[in-house]
A = this chain, B = another copy of it.
Amino acid sequence: MMKQYLDRVRETSPLIHNITNYVTVNDCANIVLACGASPIMADDRDEVEEITTICQGLNINIGTLNKRTIEAMLLSGKKANELGHSVVLDPVGAGASALRTNTAKRLVDEVKFTVIRGNISEIKTLAGVAAATQGVDANVADAVSEENLDEAIAFAKMFAEKTGAVIAITGAIDLVCSREKAYIIGNGHPMMASITGTGCQLSAMTAAYLTANPEEPLEAAAAAVCAMGLAGEIAHERLSELDGNSSYRNYIIDAIYNMTPEQLEEGAKYEVR
């Protein structure tokens, strides 16, 4: 079932506007290219609405936000809504500072997102549920596990209903949920947490998948999450004894570049509830 969503990215090669952090921006651009789409980065209020307009999708990531870029995020998000474009929010570090929490909440209030993707602590913060964000990583106390899976799904579906967005909560177990349906995804490898920005990269790639598949945001987002996790698995198998997190980073993007729709179809591990 996942095959077609990647096919469509490659066929349509959508142009994706990214307002993202300067830490992982290069990897975000390269993974968007790797999956078959094209990135453009622009974050100044004097141009963002125009850039959003010439693009087909938008990815907003608050990883290194400031007053200037927050304004650009709001302008772009509203313009994308006007145009009916797919929009992703990555609320990096929501909960780590009032600025991040408030900005993420304000974005959710003022912009209609197609997908909100974060770790469990960020999403809980955004939902106003007590969370324990530790910097930009999820707190272990919050982690989705087999034990609290039903509860986590119920939470994600509730937040999907509240926001109208597909909610993607990624971690050891990934959840991608609409208000009615949940994909529980088992792809990925723990070593992905040792690279900065695999989450940012996934958000950027999700924007590409959504834009190429606008009629099926839940499935497109689930396909992007499966693809990222599968790339993490393929890249991990490729590691030699001397390779570490830096080579792993390259191999993951390489795996996205080389991933065939058939490979995604066969490698995707998910369950629907």
On A, residues with C-beta under 8 Å from B are: 15, 21-27, 29-30, 33-34, 38-44, 46-47, 50-51, 54-55, 63-68, 93, 96-100, 134-137, 194-197, 238, 241-247, 249-258
Q: Are A15 and B134 in contact (CB under 8 A)?
A: yes
Contact A26–B29 (Cβ < 8 Å): no
Q: Are B254 and A244 in contact (CB under 8 A)?
A: yes
Is B98's CB under 8 angstroms from A50's CB? yes
A195 to B250, CA, bound (A): 12
Copies in the complex: 3
B42 and A64 contact, CB distance less than 8 A: yes
Chain B residues whose C-beta falls within 8 Å of the C-beta of A135 in the assembled complex: 15, 38, 40, 51, 54-55
Kindly state the separation between the CA atoms of A43 and B67 in the bound complex, as whole angstroms. Answer: 11
Contact between chains at B64 and A96 (CB < 8 Å)? no
A47 adjacent to B98 (CB under 8 Å): yes
Tell me the complex Cα distance, A100–B257, Å. 30
Contact among B40, B63, B194, B246 for A249, CB-based, below 8 A: B246
Cβ distance A231 to chain B, nearest Cβ, rounded Å: 10
Contacts of A197 in B (CB 8 A): 26, 29
The answer to whether B97 and A51 have CB atoms under 8 Å apart is yes
On whether the beta carbons of A96 and B54 are closer than 8 Å, the reply is yes
Q: What is the bound-complex CA distance between A39 and B136, given in angstroms?
A: 8
Residue from B44, B54, B136, B247 in contact with A250 in the complex, judged by beta carbons closer than 8 Å: B247
18 pairs, A vs B, C-beta closer than 8 Å: A21-B41, A23-B29, A26-B196, A34-B245, A38-B136, A40-B93, A40-B136, A44-B66, A46-B99, A54-B96, A54-B135, A194-B257, A242-B258, A244-B254, A245-B253, A245-B254, A246-B249, A246-B251
